[in-house]
């Protein structure tokens, strides 16, 4: 997939060179390079594509290396904008980096509608996924075994969920499915199941539970009261001006136009 | 005039040769690519550790890349599918080739052909929505996605190839053999099982090998019903096959993980090659007779 996007962006770059020849009035020919979080692939890929479509002659690159390397890359000046799926640490900010939250990735914890559990604490969720709680009766439900549904290794949603709940590499999954849709279908057809899916894709066939008493909605994700979420951050240098094209992309990504694209990538835009 | 048609013949020959070479070229390209892409990870991980490691945790730190669970699941799953599918397919083929009235035969044959034409994702979907919940209910499990579900889906998927190939083999048994047997006083059933089936046995064996090939190579349907967790196989646990191991992680993989997926594909490829060699062996033996 990443390779595909690389190829696709390479192709688009080539095409946009030709496009630039055709209508010379709008071509500025700048480049925007981004580097960082693999979880942001979907949203940043969609934004980059749309940005290039709207600004012929510009090229957009995305290097999926992970949040840490993205932050390093931007501080060393190897890319225009760093991408991080966590907030910057204070020492990173002290090094002259600025964070701008692009969107919030809210992950809903879903159960079957027949399940009478409506609320779980973050700790309970973590224990459930680590296999320390194995029966719904331990968290106030019926006397049924808990069936853990998750995503495949490498999935951004899985990465986000496991990071927030502190269950990295500890989850005792019963099923590892390859798409959000599969997770929802499976949880919807098994009253023992618990799963996680990005907030935007939750449907009526499953029930989202509240976490520590907070129900996942766009508002609670945005104001930070819903716990199972993480920010998607654009990292820039505080003291250095972005290039014109990079600034244009930066503004575009936070603009009203980009909102629907951010939504369609399954995350909640940060700006109102 | 004669010369002209000779030239025409030559051109047609040339075109056919090129088309044939394209096929051969594709096979060679895939083989070479798989070997080149698959070897580095095996080298880095170590052949023994790769083939006989029992844990697969490709994104953990430190990652471990042992594909024994996948190999065993693929073998168990295929064996199970053969165990269920071959008897059903074989007896259906005998019935259709020898016993069935023409009308019944036509209807069943059409059904079998339709079964062969159903895309595997549809098998997977029906399996996921119907079979998995029923297994959960019937066996009183907490979740139905399991090796058993995969075996049932695969058994149904291999039926068409077993039935149609066996049927062709049975139908091509010379009628004189059967007539002779009947004339000696054997009943029709005795004749079919003592004369026709032995005469067609290499064709039937070939059908089984074809079924094995289809079962071991299936990814989509299995992925949707087997749960996809890299456990060592057990009948009612969720398992991951060789095919699904490649398919499920490919989209987000990178670095050594991606290379290891190619290595899994290489192992799968070797399995399929072995099966093809077996198939050729049975078919050749048939011809030499």
Q: What is the pTM of this model?
A: 0.78
Whether the ω angle into residue A8 lies within 30 degrees of 0, i.e. cis, is no
3-state class (DSSP) for residue A231: strand
- The model's confidence at residue A15, banded by pLDDT at 50, 70 and 90, is very low
Q: What is the spatial distance between Cα B145 and Cα B138, in angstroms, rounded to a whole number?
A: 13
Closest Cβ opposite residue A2 in set B143, B144, B254: B254
Q: Give A64 to chain B, closest Cα distance, Å.
A: 9
Q: What is the pLDDT of residue A22?
A: 37
Mean pLDDT of B173-194: 91
Q: What is the mean pLDDT of chain B?
A: 90
Closest Cβ opposite residue A175 in set B58, B59, B228: B228
Q: What is the spatial distance between Cα B212 and Cα A91, in angstroms, rounded to a whole number?
A: 59
Whether B142 contacts chain A with CB within 8 A:
yes
The count of other CB atoms within 10 Å of the CB of residue A124 is 21
Q: What is the mean pLDDT of chain A?
A: 83
Give the residue from chain A lying closest to B226, CA to CA. Answer: A175
For residue A195, give both structure tokens.
């799963």
Mean pLDDT of A205-219: 90
Q: Tell me: the pLDDT tens digits for B225-240?
A: 998 898 899 899 999 9
Q: With 90 as the cut, is the pLDDT of residue B79 above it?
A: yes
Q: What is the pLDDT of residue A204?
A: 87
- Continuous H helices in chain B: 2-45, 47-52, 68-94, 102-117, 120-126, 132-138, 147-171, 175-183, 188-191, 197-199, 201-217, 220-225, 242-249, 255-288
Q: With 70 as the cut, is the pLDDT of residue B67 above it?
A: yes
Q: What is the pLDDT of residue A240?
A: 85
* Cβ-defined contact of B249 to A2 (cutoff 8 Å): no
Q: What is the ipTM of this complex?
A: 0.76
E strands, chain A, in order: 31-36, 59-64, 81-84, 97-111, 119-120, 147-151, 175-177, 193-198, 207-208, 210-211, 229-237, 268-269
């Amino acid at each position: 997939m990443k390779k595909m996007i690389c190829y696709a962006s390479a192709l688009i770059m080539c095409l946009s060179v030709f496009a630039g020849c055709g209508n010379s009035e709008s071509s500025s020919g700048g480049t925007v390079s981004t580097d960082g979080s693999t979880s942001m692939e979907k949203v940043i890929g969609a934004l980059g594509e749309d940005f290039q479509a709207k600004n012929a002659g510009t090229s957009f690159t995305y290097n999926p290396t992970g949040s840490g390397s993205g932050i390093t890359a931007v501080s060393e000046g190897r890319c225009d904008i760093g991408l991080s799926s966590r907030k910057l640490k204070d020492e990173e900010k002290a090094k002259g980096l600025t964070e701008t939250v692009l969107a919030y990735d809210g992950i809903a914890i879903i159960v079957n509608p027949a399940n009478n559990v409506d609320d779980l604490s973050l700790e309970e969720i973590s224990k459930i996924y680590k296999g320390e709680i194995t029966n719904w009766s331990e968290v106030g439900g019926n006397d049924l075994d808990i069936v853990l549904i998750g995503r495949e290794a490498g999935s951004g949603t899985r990465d986000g969920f496991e990071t927030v709940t502190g269950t990295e590499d500890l989850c005792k999954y019963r099923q590892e499915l390859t798409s959000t849709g599969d997770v929802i279908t499976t949880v919807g057809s098994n009253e023992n199941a618990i799963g996680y899916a990005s907030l935007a894709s939750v449907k009526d066939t499953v029930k989202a539970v509240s976490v520590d008493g907070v129900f996942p909605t766009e508002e609670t994700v945005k104001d930070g009261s819903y716990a199972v979420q993480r920010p998607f951050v654009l990292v820039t240098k505080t003291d250095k001006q972005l290039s014109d094209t990079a600034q244009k992309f930066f503004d575009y990504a936070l603009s009203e136009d980009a909102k629907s694209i951010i939504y369609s990538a399954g995350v909640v835009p940060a700006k109102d | 005039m004669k010369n002209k048609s000779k030239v025409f013949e030559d051109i047609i020959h040339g075109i056919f040769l090129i088309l044939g070479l394209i096929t051969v070229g594709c096979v060679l390209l895939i083989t070479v690519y798989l070997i080149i892409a698959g070897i580095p990870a095996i080298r880095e991980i170590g052949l023994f550790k790769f083939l006989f490691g029992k844990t697969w945790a490709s994104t953990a730190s430190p990652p471990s890349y042992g594909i024994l669970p996948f190999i065993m699941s693929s073998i168990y799953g295929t064996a199970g599918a053969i165990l269920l599918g071959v008897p059903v397919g074989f007896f259906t083929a005998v019935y259709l080739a020898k016993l069935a009235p023409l009308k019944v035969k036509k209807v069943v044959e059409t059904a079998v052909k339709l079964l062969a034409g159903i895309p595997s994702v549809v098998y997977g979907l029906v399996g996921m929505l119907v079979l998995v919940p029923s297994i959960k209910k019937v066996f009183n499990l907490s979740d139905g996605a399991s090796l058993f579900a995969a075996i049932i889906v695969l058994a149904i998927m291999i039926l068409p190839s077993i039935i149609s190939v066996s049927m062709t083999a049975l139908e091509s048994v010379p009628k004189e053999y059967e007539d002779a047997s009947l004339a000696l006083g054997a009943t029709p059933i005795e004749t079919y099982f003592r004369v026709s089936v032995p005469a067609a046995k290499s064709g039937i064996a070939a059908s089984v090998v074809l079924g094995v090939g289809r079962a071991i190579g299936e990814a989509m349907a299995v992925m949707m019903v087997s749960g996809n967790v890299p456990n060592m196989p057990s009948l009612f646990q969720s398992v991951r096959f060789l095919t699904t191991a490649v398919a499920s992680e490919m989209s987000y993989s990178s670095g050594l993980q991606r290379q290891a997926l190619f290595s899994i594909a290489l192992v799968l490829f070797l399995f399929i090659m072995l099966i093809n060699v077996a198939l050729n062996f049975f078919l050749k033996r048939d011809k030499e007779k």
